Structure 1
Amino acid sequence: MTVAPAETFQRATAADHPGPTVDGRLRDLLAGKVIVMTGVTGFIGEQLLWKMLVELPDTTVAVLVRRKGSASARDRTLAVVRKKIFAGVREAAGGPEALLEQRIRVIEGDLPNVPALPRDLDVVVHCAGDVSFDPPIDQAFRTNVIGTEALMDRMLEACTGEDGELVRIPHYVQISTAYTAGRRRGAIGEAPHAHDIDYRAETAAGLAMRDLIEAESRTSAQLTRLRKEAERDHRAAGYLTTAADTERRRKEWVQAKLVEAGTERARSLGWTDVYTFTKALGERVVADKGAHIRTSVVRPSIVESSLVHPYPGWIEGFKMAEPLILAYGRGELPEFPASPDSVIDVVPCDHVVNATIAVCATEPEIGVCEYYHVSSGARNPITFSGFYIHIRNYFLAHPFEGGARGAARLPQWKFPGAASVERLLSTSERAHALADRAVLKLPRSERTRKFARDLDRTRSRLDFLRRYLSLYNEYAQSELHFVDDNTLRLSRSLDPADQPVFACDTAVVDWTEYVERIHCPSITAPVRRLDALRRKRGSRASTWADLSSDEGMRRAKADPEAHRVLAAFDLDGTIMSTNVIEQYLWSRLPELDRAHQLAELGSVLRSLPSYLRVERRDRGAFLRAVYRRYAGADLAALEEFVDTTMAGEILGRLSPDAVRRVREHREAGHTTILITGCIRPLTRPLAPLFDVIVAADLAVDARGRCTGFLTGPPLVGESRAAWLNHYASLHDMDLSRSFAYADSHSDLPMLSCVGRPVAVSPDVPLMRAAAGQSWTTVEWKIRPQNSRWTLSRLTAEERTDPPELTGAPSGDPSPAPRPVRGDS
């Protein structure tokens, strides 16, 4: 919007329209009073507590704090006063415990489960609430409406005598938001917002939505859809993994639907989101419940870091603008759907805190609620384009380090409009979806993983943009401004001695100074420190243990519990470059002449599509299908062939990194275990490396010939985790301190059951699971000493005394291959 001269936004001066003001020093006006606060562990509440303790020495503060896990309300309050800004007042009191004893009463409770409040209270400041713009609809109502009502009820009970009459008149101060105005345009006065919404009916409906959506999530149609989505991603890992993922998806669907319900209900009634909608209904609760007491509502706009107190740039956590500012600085926010001439109404946190304390010292007329806008857009506006220029100037002068590629390239916004940004985002999302489907079909390689990681980074950026553009689209195009006559009047009525300490006139903010030299440095400093720490520490996650250095091995050996640690290794793709089909061909082709080699290879190739279909459905069924081809083989001869001919080839295909790691575990005193779906004869050369080998055992008949079946189900997917848990219980192993190494998403259960999982050259699904859970990922290079098909190229004539594998009659050394059905 076009910004009009500042004076046109103000209705009058304090002299023209007398209203609640302060007459005297705030410390004197509030001396001896008891102020009950909520939200002390939050952003505004923390600074509000600090300000009261520092500037109101004769005021007692009672804080309503909820228990969180094992931390009591007192523990959490102590954690607050141990923070940096409380150092002075803490030391003056003699320590955090002494500060609580002298100045702070701790009340353990929650919203809306508010306990009895002190009967000597004078002021209640309610600054707790759900500050997310998109909470689930029931949560928003429970916190912002029911919580407000419950707090006011307890306050009135504390001030009521046995005869039911008020024995003292409290002052209730609600911290709301200027955006309770909703989707209005133009000037917004400091007054109640006109609407006829029944907050009780809306609250009941909002709470009922959870039951409705929960019930819908459990319908057969919905569960079938979610289960099939989970099976598509996790079938290879097993039924329990799929079931767990189905339930995760159901809960996420419920959450998303509750958020959607809140957003749509709010917008259908004229508000931008459920946060501002329920805050507006909370204001109506204040007006209704405050008919016989003093009430005030403080409406800050977009609250950001402090201008002056407790120090310039003080901020706790990321608020509304920070994620967008940081994303822009990293070059990840190409555009924004803001109107360049719309006002972004930002206010420093200390101005909100100062105004709130000043409001506490007023005495509004009983039954008449007073409203105060703490905002900047009316008299000191800054547009989105102006704010963008300040942000860009800062990052041009102080760029983020971009690693080897140098500083991030800053996008240059053109402000093309919301529709253009939406088209760009939608097109990018569709392109990403196509690329993501393609990467899952590519052969496993480091190049494929790099492509997938790039896609994942793109996905994160797109999700970030979708979320924040959806949340802030309305705010970025708003055409309203908040008149702040009452706040200006209050500011001007402050005692001259209080003016510097309790300043709340936002007209004094110099936006160049504030944005470029206060706010941006304060929010980027912790990010820069974290980036530097990551660069110093490296990218390897915490599930890795250093066993290669002398110091690392010394620590491992010194561990008195080392004998209770195991290290489980998968074989194919993890420590060895091979697969079960290749292993079969190694053992089968050398006994055949050239013609029958081609015939057998052709048979395997023809069966390959059916094998792959079976593997996608069930890894165990795939192994059984391949192992049918061993029917008729002499097991003893196969073992001899492995010992005399294949052993060197098998060992030549081991990863040196893997072998080194196995030996490090053994040296450290850990039990090393090989868990594989490979047949046992092929693991014989690996026996010196492992304490325990779990492999597939081929069943044989009375003559020692393989039947084509196994002696038991192959250990795949969840059965590996079950085996490890059983082994650990039998041998008193501590899985929480143990290791597992695997390369396939089907091994997710095995990796999940130990405390130190490591993904080794993983497939894309496992790579993503490892990244999501902060597991270590390593690349173990495998460079076979000989060509992959060295054994397969040997003919019967080229071998010396070839062992008999199939037991075929001497006149027919190459029986016809046994066909394998895809549904075996």
Structure 2
Amino acid sequence: MASMSSVARCHHPTSVLAPLRRSSSASIPARAVPVPVVAKATASCRSFGGWRWPPSIRGGGRAVAESGARAASSVTDDNAGGIGIADFYTGKNILITGGTGFVAKVLVEKILRTNPTIGKIYIMVKAKDAQTALERLQKEVLDTELFKSLEEIHGKDYESFVASKLIPVVGNVRDPGVGIAIELAKEITEEVDIIVNMAANTTFDERYDVAIDTNTLGPLRLMCFAHRFKRLKLFLHLSTAYVMNNGPRRGVVLEEPLYLGEHQNAVLLDIEAEMKLAFDDSTRQLKRPAASFHKEMRDLGTQRANLHGWPDTYVFTKAMGEMVINATRGQIPVVTMRPSIIESTLKDPFPGWIQGNRVMDPSILYYGKGQMSYFLADPDCVLDVVPVDVVVNAMVAAMAKHGGATATVPGSCLYHVTSSTTNPMAASDLGRYMYQHFSRWPLVDKAGRPILVQPPSALGSMEELVRYVQRDMEEGGNAEDMPPSLQRERRRLHAMAMEKQLLHLSRVYEPYTFCGGRFDSANTEALFAEMSAQEREMFQFDVRSIDWMDYITNVHIPGLRKHVLKGRGDQHAVSGAAS
């Protein structure tokens, strides 16, 4: 049977959000004009279950958001002293959630390498005890190739340096009080200057209860914890640009905040009701087989997201997470970073490093293996891609700007770390780059023969894709060199599983390969303009400088082959920056 743990950890979520019934009334239209009220933090944030919403939120008011840097700063040769990144991080202590994730690893490595005078970095890790957390930090973070450059810099002092900076913290944003032990929580609340929230469930079609628990309630629990901090200067939340992919958006999507109850469709978004629906249904799971229950909860998430105008459970629950942060931050300064599709490093600490299959990568690898030469996509659709080190550099700069002594507080600002308006890459461009790479450096099959690829085709509908996939499977099943019956049956089952996976991925990614919106990044451009020449060199995040053909063919795909395929299918070393 399915586990009840996700429900138990929630600590009566709907009771916490009872005031939302009053703030999410039918009188608040979608895209209502913000009311200029800054919510005052309450003193009742002793526990997650005891959280009281600020009066302005209970009445439907909205917190003011700074426009950020909408008016771009003037750029001089070196822009004077810049933001002051190096000075800002000296002695600062940071709490990072989602500490073993892809972006978090790159952020930790970057800060340690470029700002060795940083104080302590508390890294929250899901673990049963402190020893297990330490082991996870060592194995999943420090022992990765990503940290080799840092190790070379410090030599024999590397271990002592890292030990003096990184503090593993047993915790989980799905637990009451984010699961941190009392004594350590007290230390953190007294010492930490910046919270960086990167804990997220990024599965697009995750179970609705699990996604809400992590992506919506998780930020709420963490913000509740943040109100106990004595010296907190900034709460940085890593979101996604696609929270704005709600409804039939076309043209430029501005860097605007999401407010409580905001929606595109006629159906009112009541976050309390969504949580009640998710968790009430979870309590009935013991009456159903686990597999059936999991599918029902995945389908429920997609249905609720679509009902309110979002394409999938992931971006819907992330959008609600932004809403509850804006509603409960009170006087805490908040920066929200919204990157688009995050892929491998462009150059820092070295080109092509990646962890796992990201959004584009299953399709790229299926194509390279000769298993798929067509894709469900509008060839003119802009695939908004950004390398992970570009995202991290923007985060480092934003923290220094908004957490510094001259920052305007209280306030909030958000940044789209995106490429679609300033340096767009179309789906047809990606197809051409894939063909160029695998034509020159093909993968090989089990017999050592090069796998020849054809120029990829873009298909305009799911029905057309289904026909192509089924045709290829039938042709593969009629091959003259098929092995004896048992092996033939195994191959047939494998082909069926592959067909199911291809169609599933295509359905999941369809909203992104037919997306009509392009993300404005004026705030991010203005932030870059404020930096000194030295800061821009060390923390480069100007996406205009990216050559997409070079990045895809010589950096990203070689990185996939090295770090994801682990060299499988390579007859010889692949030329390129990541080899």
How does the TM-score come out when normalised to structure 1? 0.54
Of residues 548, 563, 579 in structure 2, which corresponds to 1:511?
548
Distance 1:517 1:389 in 2: 13
Query: 1:251: Cα distance to partner?
Result: 2.0
Distance 2:81 2:497 in 1: 50
1:89 equivalent in structure 2: 150
2:270 equivalent in structure 1: 198
Q: Which amino acid aligns with 2:516?
A: E
**Correspondence list, 1:540-689, <5 A:** none
Bigger mean CA deviation after superposition, 146-155 or 267-276 = 146-155
Of residues 171, 175, 178 in structure 2, which corresponds to 1:109?
171
Q: Which consecutive residues of structure 1, in runs of 5 or more, have no partner in the other structure?
A: 1-9, 160-167, 218-249, 437-444, 534-824
* Alpha carbons 1:335, 1:421 under 8 Å: kept: no
Of residues 452, 469, 475 in structure 1, which corresponds to 2:506?
469
Pair 1:157-2:228 in alignment:
yes
Distance 2:192 2:130 in 1: 29
Query: 1:15: Cα distance to partner?
Result: 4.3
3-state SS in 2 of match to 1:278: helix
Query: 1:407: Cα distance to partner?
Result: 2.4
**Correspondence list, 1:144-223, <5 A:** 144-159=215-230, 168-183=231-246, 184-193=249-258, 195-196=262-263, 197-215=269-287, 217=288
3-state SS in 2 of match to 1:154: helix
| Deviations 1:256-311, CA, capped at 9 Å, x for gaps | 22111111110111101010001001111211121211001000000001111010
3-state SS in 2 of match to 1:299: strand
| Deviations 1:485-527, CA, capped at 9 Å, x for gaps | 0111111111211111101111110011101111111111352
Of residues 530, 547, 554 in structure 1, which corresponds to 2:568?
530
* Alpha carbons 2:420, 2:518 under 8 Å: kept: yes
Query: 1:423: Cα distance to partner?
Result: 4.1
2:101 equivalent in structure 1: 42
Q: What RMSD, in angstroms, separates the aligned Cα atoms of the two structures?
A: 2.8
Pair 1:143-2:242 in alignment:
no
Q: 1:122 to 1:93 in 2, by over 3 A?
A: farther
Query: 1:313: Cα distance to partner?
Result: 0.7
| Deviations 1:569-608, CA, capped at 9 Å, x for gaps | xxxxxxxxxxxxxxxxxxxxxxxxxxxxxxxxxxxxxxxx
**Correspondence list, 1:183-582, <5 A:** 183=246, 184-193=249-258, 195-196=262-263, 197-215=269-287, 217=288, 250-363=289-402, 365-404=408-447, 406-424=449-467, 447-526=484-563, 527=565, 529-531=567-569
Query: 1:23: Cα distance to partner?
Result: 4.1
Q: Which amino acid aligns with 1:107?
A: V
Q: 1:529 to 1:302 in 2, by over 3 A?
A: same
Distance 1:428 1:274 in 2: 31
Bigger mean CA deviation after superposition, 25-34 or 514-523 = 25-34
Q: 1:83 to 1:406 in 2, by over 3 A?
A: closer
* Alpha carbons 2:82, 2:535 under 8 Å: kept: no
Q: 1:451 to 1:85 in 2, by over 3 A?
A: closer
Q: 1:464 to 1:63 in 2, by over 3 A?
A: same
| Deviations 1:709-754, CA, capped at 9 Å, x for gaps | xxxxxxxxxxxxxxxxxxxxxxxxxxxxxxxxxxxxxxxxxxxxxx
Query: 1:55: Cα distance to partner?
Result: 1.0
Structure showing greater relative contact order (alpha-carbon pairs closer than 8 Å, 6 or more residues apart): 2
Query: 1:213: Cα distance to partner?
Result: 4.7
3-state SS in 2 of match to 1:372: strand
Q: 1:67 to 1:421 in 2, by over 3 A?
A: same
Q: 1:520 to 1:423 in 2, by over 3 A?
A: closer
3-state SS in 1 of match to 2:459: coil
2:27 equivalent in structure 1: none
Pair 1:99-2:161 in alignment:
yes
Bigger mean CA deviation after superposition, 415-424 or 289-298 = 415-424
Query: 1:430: Cα distance to partner?
Result: 11
Q: Which amino acid aligns with 1:34?
A: N
* Alpha carbons 2:352, 2:559 under 8 Å: kept: yes
Distance 1:36 1:362 in 2: 18
| Deviations 1:142-201, CA, capped at 9 Å, x for gaps | 111111111111121133xxxxxxxx4530000000000123322111111361533233
* Alpha carbons 1:82, 1:96 under 8 Å: kept: no
Q: 1:186 to 1:409 in 2, by over 3 A?
A: same
3-state SS in 2 of match to 1:174: strand
Distance 1:429 1:143 in 2: 39
3-state SS in 2 of match to 1:362: helix
* Alpha carbons 1:145, 1:285 under 8 Å: kept: yes
Q: 1:431 to 1:412 in 2, by over 3 A?
A: same
3-state SS in 2 of match to 1:415: strand
Query: 1:111: Cα distance to partner?
Result: 1.5
Distance 1:360 1:424 in 2: 50
Query: 1:107: Cα distance to partner?
Result: 1.6
- Percent identity, please: 27
Q: Which amino acid aligns with 1:350?
A: D
Q: Which amino acid aligns with 2:450?
A: A
Q: 1:531 to 1:415 in 2, by over 3 A?
A: closer
Q: Which amino acid aligns with 1:400?
A: L
Q: 1:76 to 1:22 in 2, by over 3 A?
A: farther
Query: 1:427: Cα distance to partner?
Result: 5.1
2:137 equivalent in structure 1: 77
Q: Which consecutive residues of structure 2, in runs of 5 or more, have no partner in the other structure?
A: 1-68, 264-268, 572-579
Distance 1:334 1:426 in 2: 10
How does the TM-score come out when normalised to structure 2? 0.76
| Deviations 1:651-680, CA, capped at 9 Å, x for gaps | xxxxxxxxxxxxxxxxxxxxxxxxxxxxxx
Query: 1:59: Cα distance to partner?
Result: 1.4
Query: 1:106: Cα distance to partner?
Result: 2.2
| Deviations 1:753-780, CA, capped at 9 Å, x for gaps | xxxxxxxxxxxxxxxxxxxxxxxxxxxx
Q: Which amino acid aligns with 2:491?
A: D
Distance 1:429 1:469 in 2: 16
2:87 equivalent in structure 1: 28
Query: 1:464: Cα distance to partner?
Result: 1.8
Distance 1:88 1:56 in 2: 14
Distance 2:304 2:277 in 1: 10
| Deviations 1:37-58, CA, capped at 9 Å, x for gaps | 1122110000100011111122
* Alpha carbons 2:98, 2:197 under 8 Å: kept: yes
Distance 2:447 2:137 in 1: 44
Distance 2:471 2:279 in 1: 37
Query: 1:376: Cα distance to partner?
Result: 0.5
Greater helix proportion = 1
Distance 1:94 1:75 in 2: 21
Q: Which amino acid aligns with 2:385?
A: V
Q: 1:384 to 1:138 in 2, by over 3 A?
A: same
3-state SS in 2 of match to 1:361: helix
* Alpha carbons 1:130, 1:275 under 8 Å: kept: yes
